Amino acid sequence: MAKQHVTTTVNNDEFEFLCEPKASMLDVLRDELNLTGSKEGCATGDCGACSVVMDGRLVCSCLILGVEMEGKSIETIEGMADGEKLHPLQQQFLDHAALQCGICTPGVLVAAKALLEKNPDPTEIEVRYWLAGNLCRCTGYDKIIRAVMDAAKEMRAS
Amino acid sequence: MQYEAPKTLDAALSLLAGATGQARILAGGTDIMVQLHMDTTDPDMLVDIKNISELRAITESDGAFTIGAATTGAELGENEAVKKMWPGVVEGLELIGSTQVQGRATIGGNLCNASPAADVIPALIAANAITNVVGPNGSREVAAEDIPVGPGKTNLEKDEIVVSISFPARGARAGDAYLRFIPRTEMDIAVVGVGISLEVDEAGVCTQARVGLGAVAEKALLVPEAAATLIGTSLDAAAMEKLAAAISAACRPINDRRGTIEFRTDVAGVLARRTAKIAYDRAVG
The CA distance from A150 to A147, in Å, is 5
Inspect the interface and report whether the beta carbons of B33 and A24 lie closer than 8 Å.
Answer: yes
Of B36, B46, B100, the CB nearest to A60: B100
Per-residue confidence (pLDDT) for residue A87, from 0 to 100 = 98
Percent of chain B with pLDDT over 70: 100
By CB neighbour count within 10 A (0-12 exposed, 13-18 middle, 19+ buried), where does B238 fall?
exposed
- Containing A143, the helix (H) or strand (E) segment is helix A142-157
DSSP states of B195-257 as a string? EEEEEE-TTS-EEEEEEEEESSSSS-EE-HHHHHHHTTS---HHHHHHHHHHHHHH--PPPBT
Distance between CA atoms of residues B8 and B11, nearest Å: 5
What is the reported pLDDT for B94?
97
> Cα separations (Å) of B74 from A51, A112, B99, B147, B264?
16, 16, 8, 23, 29
State how far residue B179 is from chain A, nearest Cα, in angstroms.
17
Which amino acid is located at A79 in the chain? G
CB pairs under 8 A between A and B: 86
| A-chain residues near B34 (CB < 8 A) | 44-45, 63
Confidence of residue B99 (pLDDT cuts 50, 70, 90): very high
Q: What does the domain layout of chain B look like in residue ranges? A: 2-167, 174-284
Nearest chain A residue (CA) to B78: A118
Partner residue facing A45 (CB), from B26, B34, B186: B34
Q: End-to-end alpha-carbon separation of chain A, Å?
A: 52
- Residue B184, pLDDT > 90, answer no
Query: Looking at domain B174-284, which CATH architecture does it have?
Result: 2-Layer Sandwich (3.30)
pLDDT at B186 over 90: no
Classify domain B2-167 by CATH number: 3.30.465.10
pLDDT band at B187 (very low <50, low <70, confident <90, very high): confident
Question: What's the rounded mean pLDDT across residues B167-192?
Answer: 94
Closest approach of B228 to chain A, Cα-based (Å): 37
Residues in contact with B242: Cβ distance below 8 Å, sequence separation at least 6, in sequence order: B229
From CA B141, how far away is CA B207, in angstroms rounded?
26
Q: How big is chain A by its Cα radius of gyration, in Å?
A: 16
Nearest CB to B3 within list A51, A54, A67:
A67
Q: Which residues of A touch B94 (CB under 8 A)?
A: none
Contact B2 A59 (CB under 8 A): no
Tell me whether residues A44 and B186 touch, CB distance under 8 A.
Answer: no
Domains and CATH numbers, chain A: 4-79 (3.10.20.30), 88-157 (1.10.150.120)
- Element (H or E) spanning A59, and its range? strand A57-60
Using CB atoms, which residue from A58, A63, A134 is nearest to B33? Answer: A63
The nearest CA of chain B is from the CA of A22 a distance in Å of 7
Contacts of B187 in chain A (CB under 8 A): 46, 132-133
**Residues near A39 by Cβ (< 8 Å), separated by ≥ 6?**
A49, A50, A103, A104, A106, A107
Tell if the CB–CB gap between B5 and A70 is shorter than 8 Å.
yes
A2 to chain B: nearest residue by CA? B2
Residue burial A117-152, b: 16+ Cβ < 10 Å; e: rest:
eeeeebeeeebbbbbbbbbbeebebebbbbbbbbbb
Q: What is the pLDDT along chain A (158 residues), one digit of tens a residue?
A: 689 999 999 999 999 999 999 999 999 999 999 999 999 999 999 999 999 999 999 999 999 999 999 999 999 999 999 999 999 999 999 999 999 999 999 999 999 999 999 999 999 999 999 999 999 999 999 999 999 999 999 999 98
**What residues of chain A lie within 8 A of the CB of B106, using their CB?**
none
H or E segment at A58? strand A57-60
Close Cβ partners of A120 (under 8 Å, ≥ 6 residues apart): A152, A155, A156
Chain B CA closest to residue A25: B33
Q: What are all long-range contacts of A52-56, with beta carbons under 8 Å and residues at least 24 apart? A: A52/A25, A52/A76, A52/A110, A53/A110, A53/A113, A53/A114, A54/A25, A54/B103
B202-207 long-range contacts, Cβ below 8 Å, gap at least 24? B202/B173, B203/B234, B204/B234, B204/B284, B205/B232, B205/B233, B205/B234, B206/B230, B206/B231, B206/B232, B206/B233, B206/B234, B206/B235, B206/B280, B206/B283, B207/B231
Chain A within 8 Å of B53 (Cβ-Cβ)? no
- Residue A2 confidence (pLDDT): 86
Chain A partners within 8 Å of B30 (Cβ): 45, 63
Could you report the per-residue pLDDT of B121-130, keeping only the tens digit for each? 999 999 999 9
Cβ contacts of B21 on chain A, cutoff 8 Å: none
- Are the beta carbons of A21 and B46 separated by less than 8 Å? yes
Q: What is the pLDDT of residues B130-163, one digit of tens each?
A: 999 999 999 999 999 999 999 999 999 999 999 9
User: How far apart are the C-alpha atoms of B75 and B60, rounded to whole Å?
Assistant: 16
Q: What is the DSSP letter of A74?
A: E
**In this structure, are strands B58-61 and B64-68 parallel, antiparallel, or unpaired?**
antiparallel
CA dist., res. A137 & res. A46, Å (int): 13
> Residue B37 and residue A44: Cβ atoms within 8 Å?
yes
The full DSSP string for A92-135 is HHHHTT--SS-SSHHHHHHHHHHHHHH-SS--HHHHHHHGGGS-
Average pLDDT over residues B8-24: 97
What's the average model confidence in pLDDT over B48-69? 97
**For residue A1, what pLDDT is reported?**
61
Instruction: Look at the alpha carbons of B233, B238, B239, B240 in this order and tell me if their dihedral is positive or negative.
Output: positive
